[in-house]
Amino acid sequence: MNYDIVAVGEAMLRLWVPVGERLEQAPAFRVSVAGAEANVAVAAARMGARTAWLSALPQNSLGRRAAREIAAHGVDVSHVHWIDDARMGVYFVELSVPPRPTTVLYDRAGSAAALMDSDSIDWPVIEQARLVHISGITPALSDSALETSFEVVRRARRAGSLVSIDVNYRRLLWTPGECRAAVSEMARSADLLITTAEDALDVFALEGEPADVARALAALTACHRVVVTAGSAGAYWLDGGKEGFSPGHLDADVVDRIGAGDAFAAGTLLGLLEDDLEGGVERGLAMAALKLGIYGDQLSVVKEEVDRLIGGSGREVAR
């Protein structure tokens, strides 16, 4: 089967407490499955795309739970590489409201995904995909994951697949210089580079208006399609000779902001597949706004809900 989108990256278990509870006092944790590339695959699948997720998981009950939950949204997980005696990455989330920020604690060192190498990847799946997506998180997991990430984008490019990269800088995994070097290498094979304005500043030392940042990134990376998000304000997009700014949904209330960037990326990729980056950015902004109102990392809505938001439905109660 050929897929519209193949995403490569780690999945983790998320243990979290709702707003108003503290990690250090929690009598119990809610559990869900998370992971940037898996979140993208889930969101795209729920919009009707044929998606697959490639990764390595431990051959145990925790790995099976992750695969089952991702598959429940319509993502093909049959190409996952299973590893005996490996561990599942975990992260803890304490949701909050201003002025106290949401807190994230990771316990992912040495996870099954960090053990990924060339033998972990079903290469025909990569080479036959319409689009392959990866983020700056995956190459940061280990030396073998770094080399595998480079090989993923090189093989996808040689096979004629579109390649998208989300910078997704994680300061707890590596330094800005290490991220810059890896993302720049992958961007040589990329058709689209996505970043937040914050990551552009931290990783590439680029600041200013999103339009200026996008142009500078395109020049630095030789990637002619760049999207720079500016939080709830919206996103600036650059597509070769075309460029523009798409406004966000400033009225969106925040229940859980983790995963909103992945929902945005999924919508943008769908536009790229349709040769309509501007439309994809607008769809991504709507998907991100809806994700803000949902607990967990994954966008659990259907296409009709996104279409209603894009179409301007202002109903507070859908009857």
Question: Catalytic residue numbers?
Answer: 262
- Report the alpha-carbon distance of residue 200 to residue 296 in Å, rounded: 26
Task: Please give the backbone phi and psi of residue 75, each rounded to the nearest 5 degrees, phi first.
Answer: -90, 135
Q: Is the peptide bond before 101 cis (omega within 30 degrees of 0)?
A: no
Task: Please give the backbone phi and psi of residue 28, each rounded to the nearest 5 degrees, phi first.
Answer: -160, 160
Q: Which two tokens stand for residue 55?
A: 């990764």
- Report the alpha-carbon distance of residue 229 to residue 210 in Å, rounded: 8
Give exposure, 163-199, as e/b (b: 16+ Cβ within 10 Å). Answer: bbbbbbbbeebbeeeebbebbbbbbebbbbbbbbbeb
Secondary structure class of 43 (helix, strand, coil): helix
